[in-house]
Each structure stands twice: as C-alpha cells, then as structure tokens.
Amino acid sequence: MFDSLQDRLGSILNGLTGRGALSDADVASALREVRRALLEADVALEVVRSFTDRVREKAVGAQIVKSIKPGQMVVKIVHDELVETLGSEQVAVDLNAPAPVTIMMVGLQGSGKTTTTGKLAKRLTERQKKRVLMASLDTRRPAAQEQLRVLGEQTGVQTLPIIAGQGPVEIASRAAQAAKLGGYDVLILDTAGRTHIDEPLMAEMAEIKQRSNPHEILLVADSLTGQDAVNLARSFDERVGISGIVLTRVDGDGRGGAALSMRAVTGKPIKLIGVGEKMDALEEFHPGRIADRILG
C-alpha cells in the first residue's frame, strides 16, 4: 500500500553519494518524507513534530560515507530514534512489593482490558508461578463481571465471587481483603471503561486507586487508536497516574503509531502487547519491531 520510507528517502538522497555531509536542505526534504511516513502510521501530530526535530539535529551535518547510501543512513537515524523513543529496554510488570501486589487495569471500553486481565493472570500463574486473584470492578457493563469469571474458568485463575449490587470501590476493598486472607501473591483489578474519556470515569479510577493503592496501573489501549492516542494516554496519566502501557490488537494491520504517541507523551514504558484474542496471545514489547512497522 505504501512505498517504504527507505525507497522514498533513497530516491531523494542517494544521488548525494560522493558529497561531504548532509546539508540543511537535504535533511529538510528527507524529513518531509519521514513526517509523511509517521502520519501514515497514525503517529499524533505533536509527537511527529518533536520527533522530526530530534532527527533533524542528528542528521544535519552527518558525514556521507561511501559504504552506506545516504537514504539508508537517514533511515537508520530515524529507526534508532524510534527505538530510543519507544524505550529500548524491556520493562517487565513489576511485582516487587509486599504480597498481595495489586495491579489495576484501566482504559476505554473495548480496548481489551478484560481479555488482557485474563492473559496477564495466566502468564503470571504459569511463568512466574504466582497465585493470582482477579476481580472485575466493572459494574456498568452488565456482563463484564461474568466475562471475567468465564476467563478465570478457562485459564484456571481464581476470580472474586460476584455479589450483585456492590459498587466498584466496595468490590475493590473486598478483593483486597480476599487476596490478603487467601494468601494470594497478585491481585488484578479489571476496572470499568467508557466509550470516551470523561470526568466521571477519571474520578472513579482515581478513587479506586486511592482505596486500593495499586503497585502497577496499566493503561490498556488499542494499537489502532489514531490521533486520539495522545489525549487518551495523557488524560489517564495526568488524572490517575499510570505505570505502564499494554498495547492490544498488535496482530491487526495497523502501523503502530499509537505506541510512539503514548510513550512519547507519558514517558511510561510499553510493558506488554496483545497479539490475538486467545489467552496466551500476550507478548513482550520489542521496540525494533514496532519501529519497522512504523517505517513501513
């Protein structure tokens, strides 16, 4: 569908082989293509601007050497900058706190929160041999608590028994108590979402956070979120305070720009990615792979 950035930059810059260094003008025309590639990958505009500024600083004056084509050289600068912005180091979900370690999952409705809660619980149970309890605090969507219960049955992970009529904060404190009394290592709280960000949602998340003192607050976000990714990540981070991001639907055909946008505006690590609907479709985040996708 798209020409790769490498091809585009090649046609602009490769004629420069044999010249000394990349000039302002060479870099400016290359950056127009970089900007286009990032926007096509759905990176948010404000992030594109600051990103291309950083690439400009690194590219202007870069020496053109015989062994590598100028187009490739700029692609490498862009790629390296993408990896650096996305976070070149793996950051795992942190369980380094007194048990039960509480993990709170937040995000918009439909982003994949409940599915990711099940996947994460399964992963911690199987790979890290943790005793995990899951609790759904989603009293808004009628079937949400039942959905988590079914996932618990499928994965063999305990869920907090459902008591009709309880509100989210009440469920959170019951879950904390059950996790403590039951000797669980980890408690994962699956919270309610909304179709869009609004104040009641943020107020509810802030209250749950205050009452349950989570060690991790993971923002679950659809990797196909376009320009809204910035607003989404910034709102949750400023109002609730997130410790990491889980990107879902990375198996889709999106180009992954949301990853760059969310990481750039919050500085919070992308800890895991969802790559399918099945309970084992949760993987570590590899910035190089997303960088390749963004570059096309």
Binding-site residues from annotation = 107-114, 190-194, 248-251
- Residue closer to ligand GDP by CB (options 22, 93) is 93
- Residue closer to ligand GDP by CB (options 9, 242) is 242
CB of residue 152 vs ligand GDP: minimum separation in angstroms?
13
Size of the site for ligand GDP (CB under 6 A): 17
Nearest C-alpha neighbor of 130 from the set 105, 151, 102:
102
List the Cα angle 9/12/15 in 5-degree steps: 115
Question: Element (H or E) spanning 221, and its range?
Answer: strand 216-222
Residue 115 is a binding residue for ligand GDP (CB under 6 A): yes
Residue 168 is a binding residue for ligand GDP (CB under 6 A): no
- Residue closer to ligand GDP by CB (options 230, 275) is 275
- Taking CA atoms, 275 is separated from 190, 248, 280, in Å, by 19, 7, 9
Handedness of CA 160, 166, 168, 172 (dihedral sign): negative
Question: Interaction with ligand GDP in 172-231: which residues (CB under 6 A)?
Answer: 193
Q: Distance between CA atoms of 36 and 101, rounded to whole angstroms?
A: 43
Tokens of 206: 């802030």
Candidates 64, 99, 109, 286; binder of ligand GDP (CB under 6 A) is 109
Candidates 6, 102, 111, 225; binder of ligand GDP (CB under 6 A) is 111
Residue 275 is a binding residue for ligand GDP (CB under 6 A): yes
Residue 287 is a binding residue for ligand GDP (CB under 6 A): no
- Residue closer to ligand GDP by CB (options 115, 261) is 115
Tokens of 115: 């599915």
Residue 274 is a binding residue for ligand GDP (CB under 6 A): yes
- Taking CA atoms, 207 is separated from 190, 200, 201, in Å, by 14, 11, 10
Residue 248 is a binding residue for ligand GDP (CB under 6 A): yes
Cβ 118 vs Cβ 155: under 8 Å: yes
Query: In sequence order, which ranges of the chain are alpha helices (DSSP H)?
Result: 5-13, 24-40, 45-59, 70-86, 113-127, 144-155, 168-181, 199-212, 228-239, 257-266, 287-295
Annotated binding-site members for GTP: 107-114, 190-194, 248-251
- Residue closer to ligand GDP by CB (options 6, 225) is 225
CB nearest ligand GDP: which residue?
274
Nearest C-alpha neighbor of 27 from the set 3, 61, 66:
61
- Taking CA atoms, 93 is separated from 162, 279, 285, in Å, by 27, 17, 12
CB of residue 213 vs ligand GDP: minimum separation in angstroms?
23
CB of residue 149 vs ligand GDP: minimum separation in angstroms?
13
The dihedrals phi and psi of 13, each to the nearest 5 degrees, come to: -105, -20
Contact region for ligand GDP (CB under 6 A) — 34-42, 83-91, 175-183, 276-284? 276-284
Residue 249 is a binding residue for ligand GDP (CB under 6 A): yes
- Residue closer to ligand GDP by CB (options 109, 231) is 109
Q: Are strands 158-159 and 282-284 parallel, antiparallel or unpaired?
A: unpaired
- Residue closer to ligand GDP by CB (options 9, 262) is 262
Contact region for ligand GDP (CB under 6 A) — 95-103, 107-115, 155-163, 198-206? 107-115
Residues within the interface to ligand GDP (CB under 6 A): 107, 109-115, 193, 248-249, 251, 274-277, 281
